Structure 1
Amino acid sequence: MFRTIESHRVGVPGMFGEGESMWYAVTRYMETHYYHVTVELDGRERRGRYALMVDDERLLQRVLVTQSDDAYVKSIQVVTPGHMNGSGDWKMEPLEYALVGHDAHDCSVSVLTVGSGLVYHTARDEAFDVSSLADRTLIFQPSMIRPNAD
């Protein structure tokens, strides 16, 4: 999850729209992965791009399912902590596939394939095997990205 600090707020609550606030910074204390989603706005009233940082696969799935001609996903990067990607530091890479399932202990596990072909997972078991996951749900695959119309 992301954490905000009131002194980092821009303006006053609601000045950017009902229920919305802008922030100079957000904080992340948990060393878990998240998604950096680029959304294209192509409506008559609003055009441009914005970045949406998503901390949860179900929310990412909802973003993908609710795309429209006016607001659609252009790209998804996954940001992984060093213990997950093996580098010792945070890394942002293009996401190719994401799925969730349950391991032998009925714990939820995320499995992420990045552009280089590497596969990361959130399982605590060192001997984790992706094929052992039960109740697999595909969250993302490349066909869910709108073809580039630029």
Structure 2
Amino acid sequence: MLVALFYFSKAYIGDKTIDGEGISSALLITSTPEFERILSAQREGVWVEGVLLVSPGHMNGSGHWEMERLEELRESIDDRDGFQHYLYVLEGGHSYIEGAYSDLSRLRTDRVVFSIEEHLRR
């Protein structure tokens, strides 16, 4: 099964500058634990600038891969069956669920893995 990917950029400053400007690079991350390690590695001079969710067609309903701005990633539990799901909240307010189909109204947020307010430098 195809799963969502995370595409984001990091900015490097300090000794990696060109004419005083930071250098940015893009990363494509394939797992949530790896994504969390990148987020936790932020420090002075290295930070995440933006995150896009790269979702397969079966997840986004379009039939093809799409890139959309990720606003929040929640680890959620379905209250009815107890299964864990990742809930991707995207720009514009729509969302996708990774895992077996679940009704959004039955999901309880167990943990916020990522939010633009908490993890992105502005």
Is 1:102 matched with 2:77? yes
Q: TM-score, normalised by structure 2?
A: 0.83
Q: Deviations over 1:27-75 (max 9, x none)?
A: xxx5110100111011224541111111222222221122011110000
What's 2:14 paired with?
43
Contact residue 113 and residue 120 of structure 1 kept, 8 A:
yes
Q: Which runs of 5+ in 2 are unaligned?
A: none
1:111 to 84, 87, 90: 87
Amino acid aligned to 1:141: S
Matches for 1:28-67 after TM superposition, within 5 Å:
30-45=1-16, 47-67=22-42
**Matched positions, count:** 116
Aligned residue type for 2:97: H
By how many angstroms is 1:99 displaced?
A: 0.8
Q: Identify which of structures 1 and 2 has the higher relative contact order when contacts are C-alpha pairs closer than 8 Å and 6+ apart.
A: 2
| Number of the residue aligned with 1:13 | none
Alignment deviations for residues 73-114 of structure 1 (CA, whole Å, 9 cap, x no partner): 000000000110011100000001111133344443110011
Identity of aligned residues (%): 26
Q: Aligned runs of 1:84-99 on 2, under 5 Å? A: 84-99=59-74
Contact 2:74 2:109 in 1 (8 A): no
Q: Indicate the SS of the match to 1:61.
A: helix
- Relative to 1, partners in 2 of residues 1:139 and 1:87: Cα closer, same or farther, differing over 3 Å? same
Measured on the aligned residues, the alpha-carbon RMSD in Å equals: 1.9
CA-CA distance at 1:117 after TM superposition = 1.4
Consecutive unaligned residues of structure 1, counting only runs of 5 or more, are 1-29
| Bigger radius of gyration among the two | 1
What amino acid is the match of 2:106?
S
